[in-house]
């Protein structure tokens, strides 16, 4: 069992009227001049943005707005935000949206007090010591950024998608109203659930399998999400199941399912190259890669894959054939992905065959020019990465 730190400082305000608290919470955490950061049209169309701004005005909190964050948020928008915040003396960033908006907000927050280029943090050149406070009104449960310490930004120059983790960027508060997720398209709902299940699996597939409580929590999270996704695809306004999914997204990525274990993250790293190159939805990219990663690595710890197959996917344990049981679990996961409209390979993800050159390029980037390995369930070098992409073709 690994020693661990569990640090989850975000105040969660969850429920049907939760956004009513936004101005009170901004003030509580010291915001006097707020950048309201948002994405494309969804928060405008639903009236959420107007509501949030109205509440800030009512409470006398000054604000300005910056929209236009796109999925796989871009560095150029981060630069725009940094400049605006400096010019206007912003002291608090409120993200109204999903992972992309929150990640863009975190990057802006780190960039404002830093004299150099904020991309330095993502390149791992140095660590931010200070940042502006960030908080969110969450509209799509998926990335878990509302409680996480990380953000992922795409540099348009070269299509390079990199993550940066720092506890100081953990949001001060997260407002979560499941009703606000009723308008999500089925594809985004399913991709979101795929992402949160993957956040759990990145920690579940580990060699530190003696932290039983963490394992049991992870299995409950995965089973609940798999149950609830079918209910909301059938009835998008099913509050009870929307609520499980919304809270599940946060629990899956706030550290709880990682206590006492070494986490892997290879599937995420492999996926970031897909969304960096093809601008695909992150959750769908994960579904396209995971089955191939799993088939490539399961022999490292067959019993863990057997446990997953039986306890999460409901496969009958064939005690005479552990490998067969493990593989049935992977096949069951593929059936689950298809059942919720997710791809299980790259062709299904991008709608065409990927070329060998593109695969080589992704393996080069994922291994940071052949210098870095990824994952720890099985440590992957660039040749392993290339092989997994080939298997996932």
Identified binder of ligand NZQ from the candidate list 18, 42, 228, 250, rule CB under 6 A: 42
What residues form DSSP beta bridges with 135? 94
DSSP SS3 for 66: strand
In whole angstroms, give the CA distance from residue 107 to residue 86: 14
DSSP SS3 for 260: coil
Give the DSSP per-residue string, 100-152.
HHHHHHHHHHHHTT-SS-THHHHTTS---S----EEEEE-S-SS-TTT-SEEE
Q: Quick one: 143 or 277, whose CB is closer to ligand NZQ?
A: 143
C-beta separation of 172 from 135 below 8 A: yes
For the CB of residue 199, give the shortest distance to Zn ion in the complex, in Å.
Answer: 6
According to the binding rule CB under 6 A, does residue 255 interact with ligand NZQ? Answer: no
According to the binding rule CB under 5 A, does residue 264 interact with Zn ion? Answer: no
CA 359, distance to chain mean position in Å, is: 23
Candidates 15-23, 54-62, 117-125, 137-145; binding stretch for ligand NZQ (CB under 6 A) = 137-145
According to the binding rule CB under 6 A, does residue 188 interact with ligand NZQ? Answer: yes
Out of Zn ion, ligand NZQ, none, which partner does residue 333 contact, by CB within 5 to 8 A per kind?
none
Q: How far apart are the first and last CA of the chain?
A: 36
Site string for ligand NZQ, 193-232 (x = CB under 6 A): --x-------------------------------------
Token reading at 350: 């991008």
Beta strands in the chain, from DSSP E residues, in sequence order: 11-14, 33-38, 62-66, 92-97, 134-138, 150-155, 160-165, 173-176
Site for Zn ion in 48-77 (CB under 5 A): none
Site string for ligand NZQ, 94-133 (x = CB under 6 A): ---xxxxx-x------------------------------
Out of ligand NZQ, Zn ion, none, which partner does residue 232 contact, by CB within 5 to 8 A per kind?
none
Q: Quick one: 57 or 186, whose CB is closer to ligand NZQ?
A: 186
In whole angstroms, give the CA distance from residue 68 to residue 77: 8
For the CB of residue 195, give the shortest distance to Zn ion in the complex, in Å.
Answer: 4
Identified binder of Zn ion from the candidate list 195, 264, 273, 386, rule CB under 5 A: 195
For the CB of residue 214, give the shortest distance to Zn ion in the complex, in Å.
Answer: 19
Site string for ligand NZQ, 149-178 (x = CB under 6 A): -xxx--------------------------
Site string for ligand NZQ, 256-295 (x = CB under 6 A): ------------x-------------x-------------
According to the binding rule CB under 6 A, does residue 143 interact with ligand NZQ? Answer: yes
Tell which residue, 336, 194, 170, 334, has the closest CA to residue 271.
194
For the CB of residue 173, give the shortest distance to ligand NZQ in the complex, in Å.
Answer: 16
Out of Zn ion, ligand NZQ, none, which partner does residue 219 contact, by CB within 5 to 8 A per kind?
none
Beta strands in 210-263, from DSSP E residues, in sequence order: none
C-beta separation of 107 from 117 below 8 A: no
Q: Provide CB contacts within 8 A for 336, sequence distance 6+.
A: 226, 313
According to the binding rule CB under 6 A, does residue 43 interact with ligand NZQ? Answer: yes
For the CB of residue 249, give the shortest distance to ligand NZQ in the complex, in Å.
Answer: 8
Query: Going by DSSP bridges, is the β-strand pair 150-155/160-165 parallel, antiparallel, or unpaired?
Result: antiparallel
Q: Quick one: 306 or 388, whose CB is closer to ligand NZQ?
A: 388
Query: Which secondary-structure segment (H or E) carries 322?
Result: helix 322-339
In whole angstroms, give the CA distance from residue 367 to residue 37: 33
Residue numbers at the binding site for Zn ion (CB under 5 A): 195
- Which residues contribute to the site for ligand NZQ (CB under 6 A)? 39-43, 71-73, 97-101, 103, 139-140, 142-145, 148, 150-152, 180-181, 183-184, 188, 192, 195, 253, 268, 282
């Amino acid at each position: 069992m690994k020693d661990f730190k569990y640090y989850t400082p975000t105040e969660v305000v969850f429920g049907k009227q939760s956004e009513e608290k936004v101005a009170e919470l901004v003030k509580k955490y010291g915001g006097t001049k707020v950048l309201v950061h948002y994405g494309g049209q969804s928060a405008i169309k639903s009236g959420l943005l107007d509501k949030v701004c109205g509440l800030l005005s009512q409470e006398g909190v000054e604000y300005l707005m910056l929209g236009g964050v796109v999925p796989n948020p871009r560095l150029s928008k981060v630069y725009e935000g940094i400049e605006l915040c400096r010019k206007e003396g912003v002291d608090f960033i409120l993200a109204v949206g999903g992972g992309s908006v929150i990640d863009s907000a975190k990057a802006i927050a780190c960039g404002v007090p830093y004299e150099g280029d904020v991309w330095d943090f993502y390149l791992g050149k140095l660590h931010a010591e200070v940042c502006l406070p960030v908080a969110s009104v969450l509209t799509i449960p998926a990335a878990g950024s509302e409680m996480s310490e990380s953000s992922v930004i795409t540099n348009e120059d070269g299509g390079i998608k990199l993550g940066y983790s720092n506890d100081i960027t953990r949001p001060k508060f997260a407002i979560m109203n499941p009703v606000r997720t009723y308008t999500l398209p089925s594809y985004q709902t399913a991709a979101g659930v795929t992402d949160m299940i993957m956040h759990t699996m990145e920690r579940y597939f580990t060699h530190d399998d003696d932290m039983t409580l963490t394992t049991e929590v992870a299995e409950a999270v995965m089973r609940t999400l798999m149950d609830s996704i079918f209910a909301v695809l059938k009835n998008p306004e099913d509050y009870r199941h929307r609520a499980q999914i919304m809270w599940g997204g946060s629990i899956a990525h706030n550290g709880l399912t990682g206590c006492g274990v070494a986490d892997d993250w290879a599937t995420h790293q492999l996926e970031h190259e897909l969304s960096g190159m093809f601008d695909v939805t992150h959750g769908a990219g994960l579904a396209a890669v995971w089955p191939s990663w799993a088939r490539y690595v399961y022999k490292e710890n067959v019993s863990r894959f057997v446990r997953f197959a039986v306890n999460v996917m409901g496969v009958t344990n064939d005690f005479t054939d552990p490998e067969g049981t493990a593989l049935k679990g992977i096949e069951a996961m593929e059936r689950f992905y298809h059942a919720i409209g997710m791809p299980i390979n790259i062709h299904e993800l991008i709608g065409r065959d990927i070329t060998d050159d593109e695969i080589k390029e992704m393996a080069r980037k994922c291994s940071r020019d052949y210098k870095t390995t990824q994952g720890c369930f099985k440590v992957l070098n660039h040749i392993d990465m290339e092989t997994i992409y080939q298997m996932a073709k």
